[in-house]
Structure 1
Amino acid sequence: MITATGLELRAGSRILLTDTALRVQPGDRIGLVGRNGAGKTSTLRALAGEAQPYAGEITRATELGYLPQDPREGDLSVTANDRVLSARGLDEIAREMEKSQVAMAELADDTARERAVRTYGKLEERFASLGGYAAESEATRICVNLGLEQRVLGQPLETLSGGQRRRVELARILFAATEGGLGAKSNRILLLDEPTNHLDADSISWLRAFLKAHEGGLVVISHDVDLLDEVVNKVWFLDAQRGELDVYNMSWSRYLDARATDEKRRRRERANAERKASALQQQAAKLGAKATKAVAAKNMARRADEMLANLESERTEDKTASITFPAPAPCGKTPLSAEGLSKSYGSLEIFTGVDLAIDRGSKVVVLGLNGAGKTTLLRLLGGLERPDAGRTVPGHGLRIGYYAQEHETLDHSANVWENIRHLAPDTGEQELRTLLGTFLFSGEQLNQPAETLSGGEKTRLALAGLVSSAANVLLLDEPTNNLDPASREQVLDALRSYAGAVVLVTHDPGAVDALDPERVILLPDGNEDFWSEEYRELVELA
């Protein structure tokens, strides 16, 4: 169980949540919702113990599994399989057993060999008590269901894409939650921030079923409405305007109806209170003209002021960022091309001999299974990595704008203002402040460190940098991840109207529809083809 009392969360001087009590119990499957920037990620981090609240206490009476939006730093030399097994301590035991096996085979001294045999026996007994080989098989099943192929599990984390590493972390959390076997009861509480990012359609379907069957607690942040509808039995709505959290002990579909009813009630109550306060103010004005009624008039006026002061501020529609890519800078017929690009990580070959030409204004989608090298190709084209062979060829007037799915283009130790100054060094201060305002950054939030921003806010800041660049070639890696539906539509509208060239990596069919691509590049082979609707089916699978 997790309990929080008197909880107050802040981002800089901005109050996200104030004087709030929360409880997560076994059987609770809670959807944490609210607009981008409302404080959902901050709330989850506080519950997980990853961040300290500004005020209040949080107690945790059970083990947790926490999946953050951004991949955690750590030892990237371990294999994906060992990282998953480490959730139950099986990785170290398996390595020690392997050493003992080698010792038993190589030692010539009988005494030393017998000692190695005894050591192996103890390790094997401990391994079996933790689930042993059945647990390894179980971990593999979870990984495969999350789209991690057997060959990937033997690779070091440093050779995997950001999306693959995040799926490894999700697999590790789910493996820990099934200690005792798949379907076993678990009191472990899962705190998952956008768990469907980087998953294909089949993996998302499997994850929904897993979470629905989980008997421990769950708090999930997700823009996947189908997941919320199928899984959650409670909803926490974080109201950014009031800095309060409304609890709905009901399913997602019933919550939507109840939320709409609550908003109508609030508007009705406010209108009634304003009407009564206005009547009191008018009566006070009339009585105030008479000396004998002055005290009564002051009491009426004070009562009217109290009624208005106690009202919630009038709700305005949640704002969305105004995203419009500017006219691209002039360039030649082919601003970017590549010849014979090849890339490997250690002995793992990602792709080889990729040729492509990005013509002025062309729209291209990159498709391939997870791990096929889509992100790597964009990083090579953007100059963030060097190819092992081949080269990129900048054309006349090339200006590249690169959006990284893990927000690597942001300096997480710098604040919002410092980041935009770095991303757009040639733009005037007032123009930048206006630009940030259209992306919903203003006031004290300009001084907020980027590392404390939500995933959606980081996306908006990175996109603001793109907008200021006047790029004529955009390299976009999952630009709609972490965005609420309204912000996602803004990005899609910007894609529809952009006149420059775009190379897009996405699992979002809506993003592909908005781009209306002419060509597709298929990895790892690097084959190029004209776009057709047949390829659309591959988008969610890629």
Structure 2
Amino acid sequence: MILVQANDIRKSYGTDVILENASLVVQDRERVGLIGVNGAGKSTLLKIIAGEMTHDSGQIHIGKETTVGYLAQHSQIDSNATIWDEMVSVYADLKHLESKIRDLEKKMAEPSVYENETLFQQYSDQYARLSQDFTDQNGYAVDAKVRSILHGLDFPEPMHGRLVNSLSGGQKTRLLLGKHLLTQPNLLILDEPTNYLDIRTLTWLEDYLKNYPGALLMVSHDRYFLDSLITVIYEMERGKTRRWKGNYSAFLEQKAADMAQHQKRFDQQQAEIAKLEDFIQRNIARATTTKRAQSRRKMLDKIERIDRPMLSTEQAHFSFNIDKQSGNEVLKVQDVALGYGEKVLSRDITFEVLRGERIALIGPNGIGKTTLLKAINGKLDPLDGRLKLGANVSVGYFTQQQEDLTPTKTVLNEVWDAYPHLDLTRVRTVLGNFLFSGDDVQKLVSTLSGGERSRVALAKLMLLNANFLILDEPTNHLDLLSKEVLENALDDYPGTLLFISHDRYFVNRLATRVVELSENGVTSYLGNYDDYVEKLEQIAAEQREREALLAASTKSKTGSSTADIPLDDAQARRQADKEQKRIEKKRLERLAKVESRIAEVEEVITTLEEELCLPDIFSNHELALQKNEALQTAKDELDSLMEEWAELEAAGE
């Protein structure tokens, strides 16, 4: 059943055409993703479908039984109610019914009623009817539903009594999303629903929407999200739409194959046209062959020309380089506490960053991730502890809101003023690489979109040639193509990375270590996002195993034999045995890696100690200092490895 159908939609602002014959269909329970570069018209089309905006021409047909919920990018609730009351207002009719039931209970408890058999029976019948209606509408589950949605969207129970208008903009958007999830319209339209969500909340939303009973139509630049949820892709390019079956990864494969096939057909036709034109040119003037040439000309005129394949929309292209290499120890964070005034966000934060690492800093919103980056960059002081940058470390800092950009400057002056030693040609070339060409460089920073501001900030960062990049949500406001360009540039970057991102694909591609920030410190996980998830699952499995073994042990002590164990418990034991073997295999693999690394580090220590005895080095104070720092870092790593080795050995006993 078709829920909504948009045909040949056109929308323009003066001479600026946003949509040109754009079409889209969403059927019952379909999961549709609308993709395209920033400015392609995605949000405009969603607003038109949702009835929030008019269109110049074309038709929108929405089914008679279709209910539509629409969450715009910056939608917010303006309400003086509490968070709980605002959410429960979705069930106003059920709450009114519940109130009538409670009133009847009070009346039936009055002596004047229960002593009057006729009146009591009348109220009893009414009470039974209303109670059945309430049960049929699942009224008793209302509070549990609301509590579950609020918990999933990171509104813990102590917040439920807070006034909506006291919340931040991002929190108000999340709350409105929660109301839509409770309402459950047939068609839920979401424009960038992953904005303002941390990884934990994003994962919860993804899992929730997998079981959503209606259809989904969404714009998102989160590839993990699109791959996990979407079954149909509409690509929007140059005001038009094209439908592709499958998720985002399937779309990329299909489009690449389609482009290759289109190019092949175009090349074949061009070769055929060239042959015909050559024949005509050589034979049209000769009396003996002129008729054949004229025949070929007619054939040429009848050919339906294949358009030259259009390359994907213009992309930025850039790379990050360094002027000099840093020391091995890039950053040391020791017993740091973060917060503002009396409010402590996180404490006991201790970790190190070594040269060449790519560390993703994750954790729930409000835990202090951005605060930590600001402290590292000297933008604020930690409440306690010590932050120390290593030798020869030069920092490049990308802020989430691009606070370092000056609104009153032009794009050209914003970059040129930061690097006045560069000539105009070089600055314009760099800006051209970031898609600012012609008069675009004269735009005021204050008039730029979020994506354009990000590109200006990235241009300044690229020119810095820093060897330690600290990035706070660098993919915010970037479309899918721009994200890919940034990933490629950072993948080839020869320096060290510390970044915050809720884009799981971005973390997965770049991270060599994931550091999770909590109220009481950090936990470090080697590998990328998938490795982090696998480790969490392993920890959960080990916990279940311990619980199963404890339960089995308890039964054994009470005299139950294996034969007496119910089938489910026997299966649990077999599963526990299987899990134990897997854990042991992982332990042995890690033990081998640790032992190998210990041997490597010991060799490094031996070499450094020998070098420090050389006259050319111990007589050179600066060089000797670098060697000593490298030696201390190697010894610290060796101590850490030996501790891990001992733990792994003990785990196998």
Q: Same fold (TM over 0.5)?
A: yes
Give a deviation string over 1:470-495, Cα, whole Å, max 9, x none. Answer: 45654312334566676545434544
2:308 counterpart letter in structure 1: S
2:206 counterpart letter in structure 1: L
Distance 1:509 1:273, change over 3 A: closer
Number of matched residues? 491
1:168 counterpart letter in structure 2: L
Root-mean-square deviation over aligned CA pairs: 5.7
**Among 66, 69, 72, the residue aligned to 2:70:** 66
Q: Partner residue of 1:270?
A: 266
2:212 counterpart letter in structure 1: A
Q: Partner residue of 1:113?
A: none
1:370 is paired with a residue whose SS is coil
Q: CA deviation at 1:318?
A: 6.3
Whether the aligned pair in 2 keeps the contact of 1:7 and 1:55 (CA below 8 Å) is yes
Q: Partner residue of 2:212?
A: 213
Whether the aligned pair in 2 keeps the contact of 1:142 and 1:171 (CA below 8 Å) is yes
2:181 counterpart letter in structure 1: L
1:213 is paired with a residue whose SS is coil
**Among 143, 149, 156, the residue aligned to 2:156:** 149
1:33 aligns with 2:35: yes
**Among 162, 170, 175, the residue aligned to 2:177:** 170
Q: Partner residue of 2:242?
A: 246
Q: CA deviation at 1:435?
A: 1.9
Written as runs of structure 1 = structure 2, the 5 A alignment for 1:460-539 is 460-471=455-466, 474-480=469-475, 487-488=482-483, 490-496=485-491, 498=493, 502-507=497-502, 508=504, 511=507, 514-516=510-512, 520=515, 522-525=517-520, 527=521, 532=526, 537=532
Q: CA deviation at 1:405?
A: 4.3
Q: CA deviation at 1:246?
A: 1.4
1:422 aligns with 2:420: no
Give a deviation string over 1:306-362, Cα, whole Å, max 9, x none. Answer: 858x532324366654332242689999899899764359x9653468799989988
Give a deviation string over 1:348-400, Cα, whole Å, max 9, x none. Answer: 6534687999899886553433331213433555577x679679999899976
Alpha-carbon distance in 1 for matches of 2:354, 2:450: 32
Q: CA deviation at 1:191?
A: 2.8
Whether the aligned pair in 2 keeps the contact of 1:363 and 1:503 (CA below 8 Å) is yes
Alpha-carbon distance in 1 for matches of 2:321, 2:445: 25
- Larger displacement relative to structure 2 (402-411 or 448-457): 448-457
Distance 1:151 1:437, change over 3 A: farther
State TM-score, norm by structure 2. 0.56
Q: CA deviation at 1:23?
A: 3.5
**Among 221, 233, 236, the residue aligned to 1:235:** 233
Alpha-carbon distance in 2 for matches of 1:397, 1:14: 50
Distance 1:169 1:443, change over 3 A: farther
Q: Which consecutive residues of structure 2, in runs of 5 or more, have no partner in the other structure?
A: 97-133, 537-653
Written as runs of structure 1 = structure 2, the 5 A alignment for 1:247-396 is 247-248=243-244, 259=255, 262-286=258-282, 289=285, 304=300, 310-316=305-311, 320-327=315-322, 342-344=338-340, 349-351=344-346, 365-379=360-374
Q: CA deviation at 1:174?
A: 1.4
Alpha-carbon distance in 2 for matches of 1:372, 1:230: 27
Whether the aligned pair in 1 keeps the contact of 2:200 and 2:364 (CA below 8 Å) is no
Q: CA deviation at 1:219?
A: 1.3
Distance 1:199 1:389, change over 3 A: closer
Distance 1:407 1:55, change over 3 A: farther
- Larger displacement relative to structure 2 (253-262 or 133-142): 253-262
Alpha-carbon distance in 2 for matches of 1:363, 1:251: 29
Q: CA deviation at 1:523?
A: 3.5
Whether the aligned pair in 1 keeps the contact of 2:357 and 2:512 (CA below 8 Å) is no
Q: Partner residue of 2:197?
A: 198
Q: CA deviation at 1:404?
A: 4.0
Alpha-carbon distance in 2 for matches of 1:443, 1:305: 39
- Larger displacement relative to structure 2 (332-341 or 206-215): 332-341
1:7 aligns with 2:3: no
Whether the aligned pair in 2 keeps the contact of 1:12 and 1:444 (CA below 8 Å) is no
1:144 counterpart letter in structure 2: H
Quick check: which one's helix share is greater? 2
Task: Name which structure has the greater RCO, CA cutoff 8 Å, separation 6+.
Answer: 1
Alpha-carbon distance in 1 for matches of 2:160, 2:147: 8
2:188 counterpart letter in structure 1: I
Whether the aligned pair in 2 keeps the contact of 1:3 and 1:58 (CA below 8 Å) is yes
Give a deviation string over 1:253-276, Cα, whole Å, max 9, x none. Answer: 876676456445533442343244
Alpha-carbon distance in 1 for matches of 2:87, 2:440: 37
Whether the aligned pair in 2 keeps the contact of 1:496 and 1:515 (CA below 8 Å) is no
Percent identity of the aligned residues?
A: 26
Q: Partner residue of 1:116?
A: none
2:318 is paired with a residue whose SS is coil
Alpha-carbon distance in 1 for matches of 2:200, 2:511: 21
2:175 counterpart letter in structure 1: V
**Among 408, 433, 440, the residue aligned to 1:438:** 433
Alpha-carbon distance in 1 for matches of 2:25, 2:194: 21
Written as runs of structure 1 = structure 2, the 5 A alignment for 1:108-123 is none
Give a deviation string over 1:58-85, Cα, whole Å, max 9, x none. Answer: 566765433445x446659876545645
2:157 counterpart letter in structure 1: Q
Distance 1:540 1:528, change over 3 A: closer
Alpha-carbon distance in 1 for matches of 2:308, 2:175: 44
Whether the aligned pair in 2 keeps the contact of 1:400 and 1:474 (CA below 8 Å) is yes
1:466 is paired with a residue whose SS is helix
Alpha-carbon distance in 2 for matches of 1:192, 1:83: 22
Give a deviation string over 1:155-199, Cα, whole Å, max 9, x none. Answer: 56788787656543432331232xxxxxxxx32432342538735
Q: Partner residue of 1:24?
A: 26
Larger radius of gyration: 2
Alpha-carbon distance in 2 for matches of 1:440, 1:426: 19
